[in-house]
């Protein structure tokens, strides 16, 4: 009987709610017009590159384990994904956001409380309560025993709770995408550090080989001086040239150690050496470097998705702020057993009681503050739109930059390789001419110095070329799969 009574009252209130429940405030989210270019094809790129880069597929669709074939690098990246502290912090943020989503879902349900009360009151005999207790109950004290279930429910008339749930879900997606963005940066960062390490290894090998060449020339120069063909100055110049190359070795070893430490930090490890057995040439530069379409960046690149979800949150906050200015409808109900005697506490139906009520509360004096909060929410949404546009603009620019670098560094590598071959042949010719007394020692030293610089530069260009490909993969949104 009590339940039927409460249900009738609630049903009457709910009928009234149905007439106004469709008044959901705030705008539903729609993506701003970004006016993206149709493709990444650019007149500044070579014809071959322009056609390749404009393909609708994208290298970003490749899983990072398929994009990188070096087993040592794959192992380093895998370790980084398991132990990098920045990424682990981002994953914990996802857990927090997930709990907030669950909390937002709970707003749809009524708040239910169980209340059990036992009260003993001994009033003054000269007080009204004391006189009343003695007159009506024949006692000098008052007892009251209560067990009840109380229900309170805010009806989502204006869509406020819907917007809160919408915001919580968008924030969850945003934190998830932000973690993916950190992962793409981490994967690219480890790869860049690893290939930089291989470049330093290569430069050290080049320098060691050049030192051996200079040492053999120094020995030959000393023999010629002893034979009276050349001077002590020539020997000193040759020795100085060798020492200049030797000076590069500790510098390169220092850079190698620092790069190893940086890689260890990225993988969540303490400083130490990084074992490796690959060369800089092991990276396959013949892979398909399709960039896909610019419009796909919005759905594929995690930092862009995260910024869009931040915009969705800001849009939902506008609806919440607007709903706060309108009347709030709350339904409350309660029922249970109450008696002033413990012996009658559970007597039915005499101890039964029930109550149902509906409350409409309209903000009055705080309306100015709520109006200001609404205007601030709209301004913050406009800022979120601009941040989203800027993120898309930066992402598109990063892809364009990477495409230009990939294209032009390919040309640079061909030229640098040809230059290195030319200068190495020049070293051989200079030494032959020197032994035949057809060239002086300065020409030999100059050829050796130029050859060393050219080989070091070629290694640098090779590393930059690999770096550009890795940057393109990251800029397109690759690395989180």
The per-residue pLDDT for 436 is 79
What are the backbone angles phi and psi of residue 240, rounded to the nearest 5°?
Answer: -65, -40
For residues 211 and 250, the answer to whether their CB atoms sit within 8 Å is no
The per-residue pLDDT for 47 is 52
148 forms beta bridges with 115, 336
452 forms beta bridges with none
405-416: average pLDDT: 92
Q: Residue 468: CB partners within 8 Å, gap ≥ 6?
A: 402, 405, 406, 409
Q: How far apart are CA 446 and CA 465, in angstroms?
A: 28
Give the residue among 471, 477, 58 at the shortest CA–CA distance from 293.
Answer: 58
Q: Using alpha carbons, list the distances in angstroms from residue 273 to 1, 70, 199, 253, 255.
A: 79, 18, 16, 12, 12
Instruction: Give the per-residue SS3 of 298-349.
Output: HHHCHHHHHHHHHHHHHHHHHHHHHHCCCCEEEEEEEEEEEECCHHHCCCCC
For residues 329 and 155, the answer to whether their CB atoms sit within 8 Å is yes
For residues 345 and 339, the answer to whether their CB atoms sit within 8 Å is yes
Question: Does 42 score more than 70 pLDDT?
Answer: no
Q: How far apart are CA 32 and CA 233, in angstroms?
A: 74
Q: Using alpha carbons, list the distances in angstroms from residue 454 to 4, 131, 203, 239, 273.
A: 92, 110, 11, 21, 29
Domains identified in the chain and CATH numbers? 1-20+111-155+328-361 (2.20.200.10), 31-108+156-326+366-475 (1.20.1600.10)
pLDDT in tens, 243-278: 999 999 999 999 999 999 999 999 999 999 999 888
Percent of the chain past pLDDT 90, that is, above it, reads 33
The per-residue pLDDT for 375 is 92
For the chain, give percent helix, strand, coil, nearest 5.
65, 10, 25
The conformational region for residue 230 under phi > 0 = left, psi -120 to 50 = alpha, else beta, is beta
Question: Does 192 score more than 90 pLDDT?
Answer: yes
pLDDT in tens, 449-478: 888 999 999 999 999 999 999 999 999 888
What are the backbone angles phi and psi of residue 445, rounded to the nearest 5°?
Answer: -60, -40
CA dihedral (158, 163, 164, 165) positive or negative: positive
CA dihedral (38, 41, 47, 51) positive or negative: negative
155 forms beta bridges with 329
Q: How far apart are CA 459 and CA 110, in angstroms?
A: 68
The per-residue pLDDT for 382 is 94
Question: Does 14 score more than 80 pLDDT?
Answer: no
pLDDT confidence of 79, banded at 50, 70, 90? very high
**Mean pLDDT score of the chain:** 83
Could you please report the per-residue DSSP string of 341-402?
A: SGGGTT-TTTTEEEEEEEEEE---TTHHHHHHHHHHHHHHHHHHHHHHHHHHHHHHHHHHHH
The per-residue pLDDT for 6 is 45
pLDDT confidence of 17, banded at 50, 70, 90? very low
Q: How far apart are CA 349 and CA 102, in angstroms?
A: 39
The per-residue pLDDT for 134 is 65
Task: Indicate the SS3 state at residue 417.
Answer: helix
- List the structure tokens of 434: 């020197």
Give the residue among 300, 290, 302 at the shortest CA–CA distance from 40.
Answer: 290
Q: For the whole prediction, is pTM greater than 0.95?
A: no
pLDDT in tens, 271-326: 999 998 888 887 777 666 777 778 877 888 999 999 999 999 999 999 989 888 88
pLDDT in tens, 414-433: 999 999 999 999 988 988 88
Question: Does 108 score more than 70 pLDDT?
Answer: no
The per-residue pLDDT for 60 is 80
pLDDT in tens, 54-69: 555 778 888 899 888 8
Long-range Cβ pairs for the range 434-443 (8 Å, 24+):
434/220, 435/220, 437/229, 441/221, 441/230, 441/234, 441/237, 441/238, 442/237
């Amino acid at each position: 009987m009590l339940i039927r009574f409460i249900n009738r009252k609630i049903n009457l209130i709910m009928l009234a709610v149905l007439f106004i429940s469709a008044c959901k405030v705030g705008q539903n989210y729609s993506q701003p017009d970004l006016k993206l270019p149709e493709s990444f094809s650019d007149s500044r790129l070579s014809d071959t590159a322009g056609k390749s880069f404009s393909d609708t597929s994208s290298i970003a669709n490749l899983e990072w384990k398929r994009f990188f074939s070096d087993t040592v690098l794959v192992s380093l990246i895998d370790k980084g994904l398991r132990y990098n502290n920045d990424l682990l912090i981002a994953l914990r943020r996802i857990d927090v956001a997930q709990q907030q989503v669950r909390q937002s879902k709970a707003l749809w349900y009524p708040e239910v409380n169980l209340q059990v009360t036992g009260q003993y009151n001994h009033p003054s005999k000269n007080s009204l309560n004391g006189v009343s207790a003695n007159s009506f109950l024949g006692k000098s004290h008052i007892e009251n025993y209560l067990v009840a279930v109380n229900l309170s429910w805010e009806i989502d008339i204006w869509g406020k709770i819907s917007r809160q749930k919408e915001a919580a879900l968008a924030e969850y997606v945003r934190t998830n995408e932000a973690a993916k963005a950190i992962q793409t940066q981490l994967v690219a960062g480890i790869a860049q550090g690893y290939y930089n390490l291989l470049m330093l290894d290569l430069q050290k090998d080049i320098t060691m080989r050049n030192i051996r060449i200079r040492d053999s020339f120094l020995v030959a120069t000393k023999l010629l001086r002893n034979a009276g063909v050349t001077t002590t100055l020539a020997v000193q110049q040759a020795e100085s040239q060798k020492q200049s190359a030797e000076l590069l070795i500790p510098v390169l070893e220092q850079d190698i150690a620092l790069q190893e430490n940086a890689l260890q930090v990225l993988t969540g490890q303490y400083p130490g050496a990084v074992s490796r057995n690959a060369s800089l040439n092991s990276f396959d530069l013949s892979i398909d470097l399709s960039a896909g379409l610019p419009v796909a960046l919005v759905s594929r690149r995690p930092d862009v998705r995260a910024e869009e979800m931040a915009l969705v949150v800001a849009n939902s906050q506008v609806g919440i702020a607007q709903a706060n200015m309108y009347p709030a409808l709350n339904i409350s109900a309660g029922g249970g057993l109450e008696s002033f005697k413990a012996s009658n506490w559970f007597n039915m139906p005499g101890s039964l009681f029930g109550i149902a009520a509906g409350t409409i509360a309209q903000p009055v004096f705080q309306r100015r503050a709520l109006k200001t909060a609404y205007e601030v929410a709209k301004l913050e949404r406009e800022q979120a739109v601009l941040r989203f546009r800027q993120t898309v603009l930066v992402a598109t620019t990063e892809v364009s930059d990477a495409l230009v670098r990939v294209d032009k560094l390919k040309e640079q590598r061909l030229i640098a390789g040809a230059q290195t071959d030319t200068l190495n042949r020049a070293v051989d010719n200079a030494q032959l001419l020197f032994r035949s007394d057809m060239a002086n020692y300065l020409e030999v030293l100059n050829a050796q110095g130029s050859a060393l610089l050219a080989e070091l530069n070629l290694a640098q260009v090779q590393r930059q070329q690999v770096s550009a490909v890795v940057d393109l993969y990251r800029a397109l949104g690759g690395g989180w799969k």
